[in-house]
């Protein structure tokens, strides 16, 4: 038998009331999409997108979520807008980011062609 242990005090320690989270509708749509296409949901870029620290970079044929030369996604296959967020589908993952994320030119150092 598995026994669940609740440690509310530790959870509260890490919860910041000022942290933005995606809307309930966005989370619901992301879950439906994840189940439908069998890909996990990732929030890795979410907070950084709220702070304008990432971009959607594009060239003639590809788009990626870009934070730095070491932190970026594989090519984007679909983008869905739900309320104030984007659901971005890549080869392996569904990312949720702010819809205020800017679009920029792909850095030339990245070889996406």
Q: Could you tell me which of 110, 112, 102, 107 has the C-alpha nearest to residue 56?
A: 102
Q: How far apart are CA 93 and CA 45, in angstroms?
A: 12
Contact yes or no for 40/91 (Cβ under 8 A): no
Give residue-wise pLDDT tens across range 68-103.
999 999 999 999 999 999 999 999 999 999 999 999
Give mean pLDDT, residues 5-17. 58
Q: How far apart are CA 20 and CA 43, in angstroms?
A: 12
**φ, ψ for residue 31, nearest 5 deg:** -65, -45
What residues pair up with 35 in beta bridges, in sequence order? none
Give residue-wise pLDDT tens across range 15-34.
666 778 999 999 999 999 99
The per-residue pLDDT for 103 is: 95
Give the residue, 1 or 81, on which the prediction is more confident: 81
pTM given for the model: 0.83
Give residue-wise pLDDT tens across range 51-72.
999 999 999 889 999 999 999 9
Instruction: Give the angle subtended at the CA of 71 by the CAs of 66 and 76, to the nearest 5°.
Output: 45
């Amino acid at each position: 038998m598995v026994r669940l242990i609740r440690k509310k005090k530790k959870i509260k320690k890490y919860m910041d009331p000022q942290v933005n989270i995606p809307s309930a509708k966005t989370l619901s749509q992301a879950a439906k999409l994840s189940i439908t296409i069998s890909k996990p949901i990732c929030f890795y870029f979410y907070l950084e997108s709220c702070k304008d620290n990432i971009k959607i970079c594009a060239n003639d044929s590809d788009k990626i979520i870009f934070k730095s030369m070491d932190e970026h996604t594989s090519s984007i296959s679909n983008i869905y807008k739900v309320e104030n967020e984007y659901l971005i589908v890549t080869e392996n993952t569904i990312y949720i980011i702010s819809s205020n994320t800017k679009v920029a030119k792909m850095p030339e150092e990245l070889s996406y062609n």
